[in-house]
Amino acid sequence: MDRVNAEQTRPEPDFTAHLFDLDGVITPTAEVHMRAWAEMFDAFLRSRGVVEPYTERDYFAHVDGRPRYDGVRELLASRGITIPEGADEDPADQAPGEETVRGLGNRKNDRVLALIRTEGVAPYPGTVAYLDALPAGARLAVVSSSRNAEEVLRGAELRDRFEVVVDGMVAAAEGLPGKPAPDTFVRAAELLGVAVGDAVVYEDAVSGVAAGAAGGFGAVIGVDRGAGHEALHGAGATRVVDDLDALVPSASSDATEAGR
């Protein structure tokens, strides 16, 4: 299924710059993040005696695409739980009843890194095919809420493909609000020296699509890895695909021919 907003007439490869989210767009690490969030929140909510369990729906509604600590706050707020904010250096192994927002976020992050180092990370073949099909002069950036983007890109052997990486570390250092605010995508375009209208955003998260739409980018491509086509369109995607290889010119032509 590949739905295109009728107002978008410019093919994506024709844009000057291409701004890719990482987890769920370039690499399937979104699945790793989902597992780590579930393990952390399940244990925390049980320790608090919360009856309503953490579910996959919670991930897409409150966590997906957001900076780590924002995700913790959003989920806890959905359960009416308030805990101290804490500091970035708070340990992951805080005792029950002494947890902080940042300590829980660090606990989740430790689990993500352990899973990545144990199981490895490989990019989506469809994304690599699309990167290979882009024009030689295309300007490429990664825009991720993750503070582990550099490590994940190196593990996937793709770091040299991207001129710019604006991740959670950069956002924190520069005071940039995270998605769904558009600031990190706008900053990536600035670093590439490209106007937002000449750049495409590629996102799998509703919050990320909303960020691209708010930033006035030339196109916002939703990649449906579970959020759903309707939700991504509703957040402002100009086009939604199941995989980025659907945007490879030959694949798009084949799909058009097959539909005739």
Residue type at position 76: L
Residue type at position 260: R
Phi-psi region of 227 (alpha: psi -120 to 50; beta: other; left: phi over 0): alpha
Residue with tokens 């084949």: 254
Residues contacting residue 246 through CB under 8 Å, at least 6 positions apart: 2, 126, 252, 255
Catalytic site includes residue 204 = no
In this structure, the dihedral spanned by the alpha carbons of residues 45, 35, 131 and 9, taken in order and rounded to 10 degrees, is: -50
Catalytic site includes residue 21 = yes
3-state class (DSSP) for residue 180: coil
Nearest-angstrom CA–CA distance, 202 and 51: 37
Q: What share of the chain is helix, strand, coil (3-state, %, to 5)?
A: 50, 10, 40
Residue with tokens 């990482």: 22
Residue type at position 35: R
Q: How many helices (H) and strands (E) does the chain have?
A: 11, 7
Which residues are registered as beta bridge partners of 220? 201
- Give me the catalytic one of 2, 21, 88, 183: 21
Could you list the active site residues?
A: 21, 23
